């Protein structure tokens, strides 16, 4: 029996605990939450014991999942890694590069598994794109949603954009040359909207948009390569693929010299005959959901010593680029004297007069 615990059983941690409590060969020996009532509620639901301090159950543990707020990842993980306990830490690995680097080094020196919860790596639509012979030259990602009231200890770059940073790093496999970013704080404090351009050493460019004050949820990515295009809808788990036909690829068409018949054929049959398209639904009802597969991989790695697909180094690389994006957006100059995301430039006036007035 592999003895596991979940530390931080709020919105996401309670799902980790629920799933682990059903795994064969795994014993959920406890759940930990600094909010005792929450720990007890989830412990009862998962038929296990509640704790407020992970040190109380450390001697009984073979591995643990950390799903406390990001600010606490480092302090909690350091203690558990020092004790030689393998960890799955929710994304982002830590709040800063220094903290993340220390955790990676600690896991390496103790020889224990460190996995990071970049769950979109387990999205079947993304897995399918990774298996295609598509070399990315340009990527565009959008990750937007409404305000959830959670993860307010970080801004939207470490909360949402970090998912896409990990994905584009996994797809390009190249070093980052430079970043340029812009951020806006709408609700005060950290940035709520961010826009970043990441230029890779191999020439690939990624444009990333993230917002947590967006009227409708969106989780999409476009991957453009020499071989064609893949559009990923992470929420629907669907792919939209396009590739140029052989006649286009061999340069047999020149739009400057078209006879009338070819011009009209191009107009009518551009998509289909000249640019081939395919829609793929990557949902596989027989397969477990992403969180279950992420946890299955963690348990497998702890048992066998295999390296997880999102290891500590991958978690560190995503934070390193996120930090460069934060440095860039914090130093971005809107106009003389107004620098960074916390200062919206003065407005010239309302765009329209709202039908209802905001409550005071
Ligand atoms: N992979 C994903 O898609 C995904 C989605 C949501 C959240 N997350 C990550 O999961 C983590 C938790 O997010 P959430 O939305 O579940 O937050 P949450 O606020 O709903 O839950 C956090 C829980 O941790 C508890 N807690 C706070 N400090 C603690 C401490 N020192 N020790 C133990 N427990 C503590 C809180 O009482 C709370 O119950 C964050 O790092 C977040 O970025 C990842």
pLDDT digits (tens, 9 = 90+) for 105-151: 999 999 999 999 999 999 999 999 999 999 999 999 999 999 999 98
Maximum Cα–Cα distance for the chain, whole Å? 80
CA dihedral 313, 319, 324, 328 (to 10 degrees): 170
Distance 44 CA to ligand 1 centre (A): 19
Confirm or reject: Cβ of 7 under 6 Å from ligand 1: yes
Is-contact 53 75, C-beta < 8 A?
A: no
Looking at ligand 1, which residue's alpha carbon is closest to its atom 38? 10
Measured distance CA(345)–CA(352) in Å, rounded: 18
Asked if pLDDT for residue 345 goes beyond 90, the answer is: no
**CATH 3.30.360.10 placement within the chain:** 121-281
Distance 216 CA to ligand 1 centre (A): 23
Signed CA dihedral, 169, 175, 180, 185: sign only? positive
pLDDT for 336 equals 65
Looking at ligand 1, which residue's alpha carbon is closest to its atom 30? 34
Confirm or reject: Cβ of 10 under 6 Å from ligand 1: yes
Look-up: residue for tokens 């970013």? 181
pLDDT for 359 equals 65
User: What CATH class does 121-281 carry?
Assistant: alpha beta
Parallel, antiparallel, or unpaired for β 26-32 and 2-7? parallel
pLDDT for 360 equals 59
Asked if pLDDT for residue 337 goes beyond 80, the answer is: no
Which of residues 69 and 256 earns the better pLDDT score? 69
Average pLDDT over residues 62-87: 98
Give the CATH architecture of domain 2-120+289-310.
Answer: 3-Layer(aba) Sandwich (3.40)
pLDDT for 342 equals 65
Distance 10 CA to ligand 1 centre (A): 6
Residues 6+ positions from 129 with CB-CB distance below 8 Å: 171, 223, 230, 232, 239
Q: pLDDT band at 343, cuts 50/70/90?
A: low
DSSP state for residue 343 in the 8-state scheme: -
Report which secondary-structure segment, H or E, holds 184. Answer: strand 176-184
CA dihedral 43, 44, 47, 52 (to 10 degrees): 20
pLDDT for 126 equals 98
Confirm or reject: Cβ of 72 under 6 Å from ligand 1: yes
Please tell me the number of Cα atoms within 13 Å of 104 on its side-chain side: 21
Distance 68 CA to ligand 1 centre (A): 4
Least trusted range by pLDDT, from 8-22, 40-54, 261-275, 287-301:
261-275
Average pLDDT over residues 210-223: 96
Looking at ligand 1, which residue's alpha carbon is closest to its atom 27? 68
Residues 6+ positions from 24 with CB-CB distance below 8 Å: none
Tell me the pLDDT tens digit for each residue of 320-336.
999 999 999 988 877 66
Tell me the pLDDT tens digit for each residue of 150-197.
988 999 999 999 999 999 999 999 999 999 999 988 888 899 999 999
Distance 8 CA to ligand 1 centre (A): 6
Tell me the pLDDT tens digit for each residue of 217-228.
999 999 999 999
Q: Of 69, 160, 162, 291, which is best to mutate to test ligand 1, by the most ligand atoms within 8 angstroms of its C-beta? A: 69
Confirm or reject: Cβ of 8 under 6 Å from ligand 1: yes
Parallel, antiparallel, or unpaired for β 238-244 and 205-211? unpaired
Asked if pLDDT for residue 24 goes beyond 90, the answer is: yes
Distance 12 CA to ligand 1 centre (A): 6
Task: Please identify, by atom number, the ligand 1 atom nearest to the C-alpha of residue 13.
Answer: 16
Confirm or reject: Cβ of 23 under 6 Å from ligand 1: no
Average pLDDT for the chain: 94
Confirm or reject: Cβ of 28 under 6 Å from ligand 1: no
Measured distance CA(49)–CA(3) in Å, rounded: 13
Measured distance CA(168)–CA(230) in Å, rounded: 13
DSSP state for residue 41 in the 8-state scheme: H
Task: Please identify, by atom number, the ligand 1 atom nearest to the C-alpha of residue 68.
Answer: 24
**CATH 3.40.50.720 placement within the chain:** 2-120+289-310
pLDDT for 355 equals 84
pLDDT for 338 equals 65
Tell me the pLDDT tens digit for each residue of 237-246.
999 999 999 8
Residues 6+ positions from 348 with CB-CB distance below 8 Å: none
Task: Please identify, by atom number, the ligand 1 atom nearest to the C-alpha of residue 75.
Answer: 31
Q: pLDDT band at 47, cuts 50/70/90?
A: very high
- Residue among 23, 311, 292, 15 at smallest CA distance from 3: 23
Which of residues 284 and 307 earns the better pLDDT score? 307
Confirm or reject: Cβ of 151 under 6 Å from ligand 1: yes
């Amino acid at each position: 029996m592999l003895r596991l615990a979940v530390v931080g059983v709020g919105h996401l941690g309670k799902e980790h605990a629920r799933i682990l409590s059903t795994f064969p060969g795994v014993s959920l020996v406890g759940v930990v939450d600094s909010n005792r009532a929450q720990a007890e509620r989830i412990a009862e639901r998962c038929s296990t014991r509640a704790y407020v301090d992970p040190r109380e159950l450390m001697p009984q543990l073979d591995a643990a999942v950390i799903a406390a707020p990001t600010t606490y990842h480092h302090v909690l993980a350091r203690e558990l890694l020092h004790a030689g306990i393998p960890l799955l830490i929710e994304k982002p690995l830590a709040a800063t590069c220094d903290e993340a680097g220390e955790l990676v080094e600690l896991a390496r020196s103790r020889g224990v598994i460190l996995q990071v919860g970049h769950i979109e790596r387990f999205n079947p639509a993304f897995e399918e794109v990774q298996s295609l012979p598509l070399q990315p030259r340009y990527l565009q990602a959008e990750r937007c949603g409404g305000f959830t009231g959670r993860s307010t200890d970080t801004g939207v770059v470490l909360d949402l954009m970090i998912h896409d940073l990990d994905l584009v790093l996994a797809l390009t496999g190249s070093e980052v040359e430079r970043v340029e970013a812009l951020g806006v704080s709408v609700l005060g404090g950290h940035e709520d909207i961010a826009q970043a351009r990441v230029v890779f050493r191999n020439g690939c460019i990624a444009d990333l948009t993230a917002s947590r004050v967006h009227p409708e949820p969106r989780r999409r990515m476009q991957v453009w390569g020499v071989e064609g295009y893949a559009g990923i809808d992470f929420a629907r788990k669907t792919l939209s693929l396009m590739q140029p036909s052989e006649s286009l690829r061999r340069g047999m068409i020149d739009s400057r010299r078209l006879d009338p018949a070819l011009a009209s054929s191009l107009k009518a049959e551009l998509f289909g005959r000249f640019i081939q398209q395919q829609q793929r639904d990557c949902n596989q009802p027989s397969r477990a959901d992403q969180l279950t597969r992420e946890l299955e991989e963690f348990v497998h790695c702890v048992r066998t010593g295999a390296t997880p697909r999102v290891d500590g180094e991958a978690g560190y690389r995503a934070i390193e680029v996120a930090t460069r994006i934060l440095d860039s957006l914090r130093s971005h100059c809107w106009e003389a004297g107004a620098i960074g995301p916390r200062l919206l430039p003065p407005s010239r006036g309302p765009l329209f007069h709202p039908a209802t007035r905001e409550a005071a």
